[in-house]
Amino acid sequence: STGEEDSIWGTPFSRGRGEADKGQYDGGECHSILAGSGAASLCRVDALNDIGLFDEWFFAYYEDVDISFRARLAGWRVRYAPEAIVYHHIGATSEKLGDFRLQHMHKNFPVVFIKNMPAGLFFTYGWRVLGVFGFKMLQLVKKLKLILLIKLLFKIIIHLPKAFRQRHRIQRNRRVDPSYIDGFLHQAPPPTQSGLIKITTKLPVK
């Protein structure tokens, strides 16, 4: 991973994951990223004092995107250092915990969007995020993971009031124009999500 990115479909992903390192992200134009990877990030104390710490509700998955998104909104920079090397076995723990990964990824990505997306972009892209969430819930139904579905829906619904209160504070602290954030968003879903790509390519981008 060379950092975390997001899309207009509300689906964050790791930039470069699974690619061979051929220096394709070493150029200066690649150093500015939306978010740092949680397993390999350094944060300035001044920034954390300004935006707050990790959101404990996320627990795992997309908590790094959330805190970096808040930093970007507050005017802080997030940079990728190509000379840094960190070894991290992705999923080494979560793969042993059954549906742990699915539960946290599915419940967390819409909350990242709710908390952080500026108002204009929130209404422009919100229907896409809602559609992706519905698609993922349908996948759980097809896999007969009904208990997981009920559990994560319950957690999201219960958390919504707090998420919107957090959104109010975050947006009040915003120091950048929405167009600045829009420039970081990809038009397509993550390259690894082939099912979403097939569906979204049939829909208008704007």
User: What is the pLDDT tens value at each position of the chain, 206 positions in all?
Assistant: 899 999 999 999 999 888 888 989 998 888 999 999 988 899 999 999 999 999 999 999 999 999 999 999 999 999 999 998 888 887 777 777 778 888 999 999 999 999 999 999 999 999 999 999 999 999 999 999 999 999 999 999 999 999 999 999 999 999 999 999 999 999 888 777 777 777 766 666 55
Residue 198 lies in a domain: no
Residue 14 lies in a domain: yes
Q: In one letter, which amino acid is 85?
A: I
DSSP line for 101-124: HHHHHHHHHHHHHHHHS-HHHHHH
Radius of gyration, CA atoms only, the chain: 17
Residue 202 lies in a domain: no
Cα 102 to chain center, whole Å?
A: 14
User: The tokens 């909350």 sit on which residue?
Assistant: 111
Residue 170 lies in a domain: yes
Residue 96 lies in a domain: yes
Specify the pLDDT at position 202: 63
Residue 23 lies in a domain: yes
Residue 66 lies in a domain: yes
Specify the pLDDT at position 203: 63
Q: In one letter, which amino acid is 76?
A: W
The domain in which residue 71 lies consists of 4-192
Specify the pLDDT at position 18: 85
Residue 91 lies in a domain: yes
- Look at residue 13 and give its three-state secondary structure: strand
Cα 66 to chain center, whole Å?
A: 6
Specify the pLDDT at position 27: 87
Query: Considering its fold, how many domains does the chain have in total?
Result: 1
